[in-house]
Amino acid sequence: QRGLKRNILTLKDLKEEWSAMEGKRQAGIRAAGFVTDGMTVGLGTGSTVYHTILKLGEMAKEGLKLRCVSTSEATTNLAESLNLTLVPMSEVEEIDITIDGADEVDRSFCGIKGGGGALLYEKLVADISRRVIWVVDRSKLVDRLGAFPLPVEIVPFSHVQLMRKLRAMGFSPRLRMAGNCPFLTDEKNYIIDLKTGFIDDPEGLHRQLKLMPGVIETGLFIAMADTVVVGSEDGAEVLE
């Protein structure tokens, strides 16, 4: 009976969920307004940037010329279905603007990303972008990062050893699963979701994790976003 109770959605839950969905839509659409003709655009991954990509599809249909770089198979499929022109990362020197979602963003625009499992490509695309815009609903803005489990992309070969080390360091690591099998990223790696608690020093934690053999990338994005578009039921606000 207790389990059943936990699964019952209250009106408040539904309202919050609707509000977040509408916030994502508002932010996603607003961010598309930063894209102009002839740009090379990095397309992020997730349910917020989904709205940006739909809008870019409409804009392209009306004649806007774009070259897009995708950050995941899911985004590639969406972009292709909208007839957006995709170019491989290997053919791009610089990206004019990248629009992407985030799982948490603090006041200095440090963020946690990777909830959707695309953190590695997202970071590589952001790294060569002249401007990075994150699109989030209001619930993603936080004073301190760390309530959201930190995704860390790792080499499958040594995942057991890495989990053991992370546990010994005081984190609660959890191997991300897809059904009965470990979740595989587009690069065929695994993801460990780390319960870190509040993160006092995001850069220090990122460096500490990156030094561990087998860690490929962390979901801590430091000093990468230039602009955050925050959506709510009432519209979208641009933070810079």
Four-CA torsion 108, 121, 162, 190, nearest 10 degrees? 130
Alpha carbon distance 240, 230 (integer Å): 11
From 54-62, 87-95, 97-105, 163-171, give the range in contact with ligand 5RP by CB under 6 A: 97-105
122 is catalytic: yes
176 binds ligand 5RP (CB under 6 A): no
Q: Which residues contact 129 (CB under 8 A, 6 or more apart)?
A: 42, 94, 95, 96, 97, 98
Smallest separation (angstroms) from ligand 5RP to the CB of 5 = 27
From 8-16, 52-60, 96-104, 227-235, give the range in contact with ligand 5RP by CB under 6 A: 96-104
Instruction: Compute φ and ψ for 229, nearest 5 degrees.
Output: -100, 120
Please check if 85 is assigned to a binding site: no
Q: Which residue among 59, 69, 84, 119 contacts ligand 5RP (CB under 6 A)?
A: 119
Alpha carbon distance 106, 230 (integer Å): 12
Q: Which residues contact 90 (CB under 8 A, 6 or more apart)?
A: none
Nearest CA to 224 out of 69, 142, 105 is that of 105
CB 231 within 8 A of CB 22: yes
Smallest separation (angstroms) from ligand 5RP to the CB of 112 = 8
Alpha carbon distance 95, 10 (integer Å): 44
Q: Which residue among 25, 30, 113, 123 contacts ligand 5RP (CB under 6 A)?
A: 113
120 binds ligand 5RP (CB under 6 A): no
CB 192 within 8 A of CB 152: yes
103 binds ligand 5RP (CB under 6 A): yes
Q: Which residue among 78, 79, 118, 224 contacts ligand 5RP (CB under 6 A)?
A: 118
Judged by CB, which is closer to ligand 5RP: 165, or 195? 195
Please check if 45 is assigned to a binding site: yes
47 binds ligand 5RP (CB under 6 A): yes
Catalytic residue among 16, 73, 91, 122: 122
153 binds ligand 5RP (CB under 6 A): no
Smallest separation (angstroms) from ligand 5RP to the CB of 53 = 11
- In whole angstroms, what separates CA 35 from the centre of its chain? 19
The site for ligand 5RP (CB under 6 A) is made up of 44-48, 100-103, 113-119, 122
Catalytic residues: 122
